[in-house]
Amino acid sequence: MATPPIAPGTDGPASDALLKIGQFFTRWDQSPDRRAVFRSGGRAGDAFYRNRWSHDKVVRSTHGVNCTGSCSWKVYVKDGIITWEAQETDYPSVGPDRPEYEPRGCPRGAAFSWYTYSPTRVRYPYVRGVLLGMYRQAKEEVGGDPVLAWQAVVSDPEKRRAFQ
Amino acid sequence: MTAAAHVHTIKTYGPDRCTGFSPIPAMSMVSHAAGARFINLIGGVMNSFYDWYADLPVASPQVFGDQTDVPESGDWWDATYLMMWGSNIPVTRTPDAHWMVEARYRGTKVVSVSPDYADNTKFADEWLPAQAGTDAALAMAMGHVILKENFVDRRVPFFEDYVVQYTDLPFLVTLEQRPDGTVVPDKFLTATDLGNAEAETSDAAFKTVLIDRDAGTPVVPNGSVGFRYNEVDEGKWNLDLQGVRPALSITDAASYSGTTSTVELPAFTDATGEGSVVHRGVPVTEVAGRQVTTVFDLMLAQYGVGRAGLPGQWASGYDDVDTPYTPAWQEEITSVPAQAVARIAREFATNAEKSRGRSMIILGAGICQWYHGDVTYRAILAMLMLCGCQGRNGGGWAHYVGQEKVRPITGWAAMAAATDWTRPPRFMIGTAFWYMHTDQFRSDGYSSDSLQSPLAQGHLEGMHTADVVAKSTRMGWMPFFPQFDQNSLDVAEAAIAGVARGEAADEAQWVADRLKAEDMRFAVEDVDAPQNWPRTLILWRSNLLGSSAKGEEYFLKHLLGTHHNVMGEDHAGSRPKDVTWHEEAPEGKLDLLVSADFRMTSSTLLSDVVFPAATWYEKHDLSSTDMHPYVHAFTPAISPPWEAKTDYDLFRLLAEEFSRQASAHLGVRKDLVATALTHDTPGELAQPGGHAPDWKGTDIPAVPGRNLPELKIVERDYAAVGQKFSAVGPLAEKLGFTTKHITYDVTHQIRQLAQKHGVFDSGAAAGRPAVDTDARMAEAILLFSGTTNGELAVQGFETLEQRTGVQLADLARGSQEKRITFADTQAAPVPVITSPEWSGSETGGRRYAPFTINIERLKPFHTLTGRMHFFLDHDWIKDMGESLPIYRPPLDMHRLFGEPQLGQRGELSIAVRYLTPHNKWSIHSEYQDNLFMLSLSRGGTTVWMSPQDAALIEVSDNDWVECLNTNGVYVGRAIVSHRMPAGVVYVHHAQERTIDVPKSETTGRRGGIHNSVTRILVKPTHMIGGYAQLSWAFNYLGPTGNQRDIVSVVRKRSQEVRY
């Protein structure tokens, strides 16, 4: 059976489920579609904005992406989660009568923290399934020696082709 | 399983079938060093990246004898005339671009050379829109103007003083009279040729000669490479002319009698690349029975700048359209108006004269990554050298490509190469590795002679490029791995046994004898035989198959044995002679492809094993760059989440597991390592005159280290690899660590490290200082480098003072007590210390500019003459017609390979130049899949094209198009922009298969990456070695993986796409 096409956009069953869970943890007044929350009071009402920019620690790091920038960045962490980054500004001065190196950075570097929890993140080791199956079987057959098991797989041309 | 694959490969085929690729150590030195250390400890092969990326300007070793030493961006501010040539600063050096803009406010004129209306062009005061790939024609014409106005019409003392002391212009070149009566420039005259007492001195064949202007006699000045290595000449390797005033032209010599000679010089003015010959007169004199002239006289002849009384064809003026290399001549080629060329060249030189060399040229990938990119660079560097700009703050070349500058180089190199435990390591030239092992040589239906000079003498005659690789390997010019068609462990043990039986004086000679007798072959000579395949490949900090793999589809077909879009046939009609041709090309050479990454890429998707890596916010590491003078730290903001590990931990665990398995299967073995004759070692004196007859098929004996690679026996304790990985080995104190022929005694540093980190109490590393975490390896890197440890900087300069006899150590003495620790780099970026590891001085808070130490302290360049070179005299360079700066057009892909002719039309298609510059929404393949960057850009694969070309093939903006040729197919959406010139498409570098790539109409398979349409084209002269600055060193010299000459057909396709 063909599944109905998913409309473009970010809304869908998955986001609905997430918002539902969110309501369980933060019991705020919400609009019926759960897309807006209502809060009252001065300090209590604007807690959201304060929390948005609060953090537990700031760590110096950079990006190893071969861009030659080698810019130093402040990485912000809240509750053990990387939240965002901002440009460091503490490059030693290059002297009077000329501009400075600080701040350095570009929009690409400023977008890096997205990768930490992104859908493209590699979270666990992967092995090609066919290969792992053959390797495990071979390992059993040769009595557990990994080297002999590998040899058994790759010296069999058919097995070798099967995982390549 | 990964460890088992390595143990099995070493046991069955040899350690040099285990390979690794991880580029750009500067962008995270510990992460790079960790993996490289594992590979090197097991005897595996690390591939180079700088040449492979075609970021390596081959002109840099050719001219300077140094690789990519360039100013920090803060020094652009010091320039008073700034050109940007093929480098799109705001896009590719974004955090540094402000210096260029600010320099304009200070009054610096900024000129841009780019084929398109690029982002940097918007900042320029003047734009020279040279047609893509024709930049050398423009530079030669500027050189013509500079030479005429500053060296002939008027002789500018500032320029003349500079070139006679710091360049090869006053040196003598012999003229060769050929049997048919033609006369051509031959070789540098050396002390050997003089036949007097000078000829009897040590290394006389490497001491070049000039003429004393006043006395009119030949002089052998200090500073050439012949003074660099032998004991007798200690203290004489310097540029002190000791009162001698060199004759720049032969006509300057007091003894000049008015004799002239007409020489023949090659020119490549035809768009097909076909060479022709020009006749130009030079003044000559006789020295020790030989006709000689100076490099300067040859330069004027080459550029067509005439002087009264000389025979030959000369330019009649700047408006002479027919004579290379006038401004009017170049206009036909580049489309840049002749008047603009003359004016800019004049401004450039005038500024240099008035500011004492503060004219600067920022140059980059747009002109470097062509087949003849080295030639273009030499023509541009010539402008800078003629105007006294190199080695000046605010002047000289500023080549920016990858993040290649590892400022703490000595420490990083030691950790990465594991030279604290075993040496030499196996380092390979990436381009030749991929060219041969992905079988791209089989598609290369041309031989080197189609690119030769019309005056060539046959050194390259009929040579297939695969034969070039084979010859370069056997002559000891360039490394190649696997080495032999046998397991190098077995070879080592057989050699030891052979020597014990008295069959040869030593193991190296025993192996040489086997090779000469053809009992054993170099693996490159039968690269497709199963025993010679690379078997394992580990990628980390790298997305080879989504980014740099020129000829991507050939990788998929031959190396991986998976689905591919190769559409061409093997060129079976043009087969190599020295490399065995298999009727059936192998598919699937690799047993195991492993990658470590934190995101899914084309490479991880194609890997057999993928390890989850820590991101840049999850580990300790170090970063440095050309662009600024600081080293600074990576620090984990969080621990690596899920099962992710740092590269350091991954390779430590792999090393330990490897050793557990190896103890039963491998134990302690001897290994025989072959390395090329290496730059900055006495090995570069192996082949005088750049003339080295082949030992293969002749009576000439094969001698290791002379005309054969260096061959060394090393011991490998495979069960101890895990323990060695985490400790600094004893060769550190025993042999020291060497960078550019300066050996650093690190005994004191080893003690310091032991006190700080402790030592291991048992096992193979008992008593050795620990580097058992990423932070500790970072500490070791900083401790062992002069740039980050003042004690070593001073020590290195003192060593160099001995050799040069000039004062140097004061440059670092003020920092002698300064040690930059890892904690310092975590606190704030720290500026580095002036050190002999590099050529520029930062002493006293100066901005870094390269070669300031050479110019100010008379320390020689690492070249044949010890000066910067205009002239190169290796046999192969001569035969390619590239002894002097010259223009060579982009490759005619139609003539060479039968690809469509540029502009050739089909129904809704047109053949165009296919260029792959970088864009502003990604850094290589990184960020192009990032949600924010996808939102800011159009997202997915795109093809930039001109409105003219789009109209011809009825394409509107955002229509789907395909770019294809025999190599493969790329599918993307058209971006139709007035920024683009006609006849060219831009497919931005590293747009991956992972984002919105539909199936192609052409093959029915998914479209490729930008490199699916490209293919490796190896230039033979990049494979030269064994001769002064033209000697191999890792990422110093090697064939480039250039890709800009590629032609592709762009065609409109069905707008209905399927995934």
Residue B136: the pLDDT is: 98
The predicted complex's ipTM stands at: 0.94
Angle at B820 between CA B817 and CA B824, to 5 degrees: 130
CA distance B993 to chain A (A): 13
* CB within 8 Å: A121 and B624: no
* CB within 8 Å: B403 and A67: yes
**B450 CB-near residues (< 8 Å, 6+ apart):** B895, B896
Instruction: Give the span between the Cα atoms of A45 and A119, in whole angstroms.
Output: 33
Helix locations, B148-206, DSSP H: 157-166, 191-194
* CB within 8 Å: B102 and A99: yes
Residues of A in contact with B632 (CB under 8 A): 60, 62, 70, 72
Residues in chain B predicted with pLDDT less than 50, given as ranges, are none
Count of all residues that appear for chain B in the document: 1059
Q: Tell me which chain A residue has its CA closest to the CA of residue B925.
A: A65
Which strands sit side by side in the sheet containing B536-540, from one edge to the other?
A126-127, B609-612, B592-597, B536-540, B18-21, B45-47, B426-428
Residues of A in contact with B92 (CB under 8 A): 67-68
Q: Are B388 and B74 in contact (CB under 8 A)?
A: no
Structure tokens at B384: 């800078």
- pLDDT confidence of A16, banded at 50, 70, 90? confident
A116/B contact by beta carbon, under 8 A:
yes
Look at strands B905-906 and B742-744 and give their pairing. Answer: unpaired
**B497 CB-near residues (< 8 Å, 6+ apart):** none
* CB within 8 Å: A70 and B661: no
Q: Are B778 and B633 in contact (CB under 8 A)?
A: yes
pLDDT, greater one: A39 or B145: B145
| Residue of B4, B27, B628 lying closest to A64 (CB–CB) | B27
- B530: phi > 0 → left, psi -120 to 50 → alpha, else beta; which? alpha
Residue A9: the pLDDT is: 63
A86/B contact by beta carbon, under 8 A:
no
E strand or H helix that includes residue B430: helix B430-437
Please report where in the chains the tokens 């007859």 appear, as a residue: B693
Please report where in the chains the tokens 């000045």 appear, as a residue: B221
DSSP letters along A16-70, please? HHHHHHHHHHS--EE-TTSS-EE--SSTTTTHHHHHHT--SEEEEE---SS-S--
Q: Tell me which chain A residue has its CA closest to the CA of residue B642.
A: A123
Report the C-alpha dihedral over residues B837, B843, B848, B854, rounded to 10 degrees.
Answer: -60
Angle at B164 between CA B160 and CA B170, to 5 degrees: 115
Three-state secondary-structure class, residue B878: helix
A105/B contact by beta carbon, under 8 A:
yes
Structure tokens at B992: 């991956």
CA distance A29 to chain B (A): 31
Q: What is the mean pLDDT of chain B?
A: 97
DSSP letters along B980-1009, please? SPTTEEE--TT--TTTT--B-TTTSSBP--
A142/B contact by beta carbon, under 8 A:
no
Q: Are B149 and B349 in contact (CB under 8 A)?
A: yes
**B715 CB-near residues (< 8 Å, 6+ apart):** B422, B668, B669, B670, B671
- B736: phi > 0 → left, psi -120 to 50 → alpha, else beta; which? left
Angle at B648 between CA B643 and CA B654, to 5 degrees: 75
> SS in 3 state form for B839-850?
CCCCCCCCCCCC
Residue A1: the pLDDT is: 46
Three-state secondary-structure class, residue B910: strand
Pick among A55, A61, A160 to test the B interface (most B CBs inside 10 A)? A61
Beta-carbon-side half-sphere exposure of residue B524 (alpha carbons within 13 Å) = 28
Structure tokens at B951: 């109209």
Distance of CA A61 to the CA centre of its chain: 16
Please report where in the chains the tokens 């290796």 appear, as a residue: B874
Q: Tell me which chain B residue has its CA closest to the CA of residue A60.
A: B635
Global confidence as pTM: 0.96
- pLDDT confidence of A12, banded at 50, 70, 90? confident
Q: Tell me which chain A residue has its CA closest to the CA of residue B926.
A: A65
Residue A6: the pLDDT is: 59
Closest CA to B966 of B903, B1017, B900, B892: B900
Whether residue A3 is predicted with pLDDT greater than 70 in this model: the reply is no
Instruction: Give the span between the Cα atoms of B796 and B813, in whole angstroms.
Output: 11
Whether residue A8 is predicted with pLDDT greater than 90 in this model: the reply is no
Three-state secondary-structure class, residue B522: strand
Q: Tell me which chain A residue has its CA closest to the CA of residue B77.
A: A98
| Residue of A61, A98, A118 lying closest to B637 (CB–CB) | A61
Beta bridge partner(s), residue B185: B175
Closest CA to A87 of A76, A99, A98: A76
Residue B32: the pLDDT is: 98
Q: Are B854 and B815 in contact (CB under 8 A)?
A: no
Q: Quick one: angle between helices B157-166 and B338-355, nearest 10?
A: 80
Q: Are B590 and B19 in contact (CB under 8 A)?
A: no
- pLDDT confidence of A33, banded at 50, 70, 90? confident
Structure tokens at B653: 């665990």
Pick among B92, B94, B842 to test the A interface (most A CBs inside 10 A)? B94
CA distance A112 to chain B (A): 8
Q: Are B989 and B1007 in contact (CB under 8 A)?
A: no
Look at strands B45-47 and B18-21 and give their pairing. Answer: parallel
Q: Are B981 and B950 in contact (CB under 8 A)?
A: no
Buried-exposed string B416-426: b where 16+ CB fall within 10 A, e elsewhere? bbbbbbbbbbb
Residue A10: the pLDDT is: 65
| Residue of A60, A95, A135 lying closest to B633 (CB–CB) | A60
Residue B15 burial (CB count, 10 A): 29
